[in-house]
Amino acid sequence: MKTTTALHFKNTFEKEVYEGLTAFPKRLSSKWFYDKKGDKLFQQIMDLPEYYLTGCEFQIIDQYKNEIATLFQESKGFDLIELGAGDGKKTKILLEEFLKQQLDFTYKPIDISQNMLEELEGAILKKWPEINIKVKQGTYFEILEKLNNQPSDRKKVILVLGSNIGNLTHPQAIDFLKNIRNSMAEQDLLFMGLDQKKDPEKILKAYNDSQGVTEAFNKNILHRINKELAGDFDPETFKHWPTYDPETGTTKSFLVSTKSQQVTLKNLNLQINFEPWESIHTEISQKYDDDVVNWLAQEAGLKVVTQFTDAQSQFTDYIFKT
């Protein structure tokens, strides 16, 4: 009789690292980039000259803040629920506009990082003590589940900025949108920023900046595994390798082992062998066009009602309804 020993993992991180590094080809999810150091590196990325996404969306929101506020406003007030709020840099433009127009709103930023939320809440209340802010820590799915379980008749405006959904494959994005859709009533809006297909060279530079911050961000996952799972990865022996396929609009980032090596993760009782030039796929950053966005929306039971684009059509913020 064949016996198998059940593997016991302490958390999802352990389980996914085990599954990803024992799979062929090897993979790790980019959601694990974001520990304290990863959060800081991502903030630095958003300020890089090559990482055009943040500047473009900032420009769009600043240019159209008046129209956006008009679309969001509701006589009985509304809840602005931001998924993956981060440092809220772009959202602050909207909050200022809402205050200027004396709109009745509650700001509900949600993030996986408690750290970022505390900083964001402190910064907002320091600048605008009159803002009603309720931070929530958790993954998108946990929070959406809570929203679904506590229906309210107050208008909800759900914000997903920064092309965050681009880190999901199309099927995952459709699932995510379906989940959001299930929490939306007729009056509710989804405001979502999506990076557009463009010159492949420009996209590649955004994921391979000259200062090496994105490389450090990608390799941070190996440092995190070393720290949390007692691993002995030498990140210097891996090459940061982003690619862009203009046909599918998919940017993929890899870590490529520059030599044959064995890595041990003591906490998982695991030894992993790498062939020379074997890869670990770590992230996708999907780029979109209107046809793909409309298809995703349709699959999820949503429709695009308005969209705002920057002067060079590099980035688009879409408003969806049920």
The site for ligand AVI (CB under 6 A) is made up of 45, 53, 162-164, 166-167, 207, 214, 217, 283, 285
HEC secondary structure over 68-104: HHHHHCCCCCEEEEEECCCCCCCHHHHHHHHHHCCCC
Closest distance of CB 101 from ligand AVI, Å? 29
Looking at beta carbons only, is 160 or 304 nearer to ligand AVI? 160
Neighbours of 202 (CB within 10 A): 12
Looking at beta carbons only, is 61 or 69 nearer to ligand AVI? 61
Closest distance of CB 293 from ligand AVI, Å? 15
Closest distance of CB 242 from ligand AVI, Å? 8
Looking at beta carbons only, is 249 or 272 nearer to ligand AVI? 249
Q: Give the closest residue to 215 by CA, choosing from 168, 158, 253.
A: 253
Closest distance of CB 297 from ligand AVI, Å? 19
Closest distance of CB 75 from ligand AVI, Å? 34
Separation of alpha carbons 306 and 135, rounded Å? 28
Looking at beta carbons only, is 44 or 267 nearer to ligand AVI? 44
Closest distance of CB 88 from ligand AVI, Å? 14
Looking at beta carbons only, is 113 or 285 nearer to ligand AVI? 285
Which residue has its beta carbon closest to ligand AVI?
Answer: 285
Looking at beta carbons only, is 285 or 316 nearer to ligand AVI? 285
Closest distance of CB 193 from ligand AVI, Å? 9
Looking at beta carbons only, is 94 or 203 nearer to ligand AVI? 203
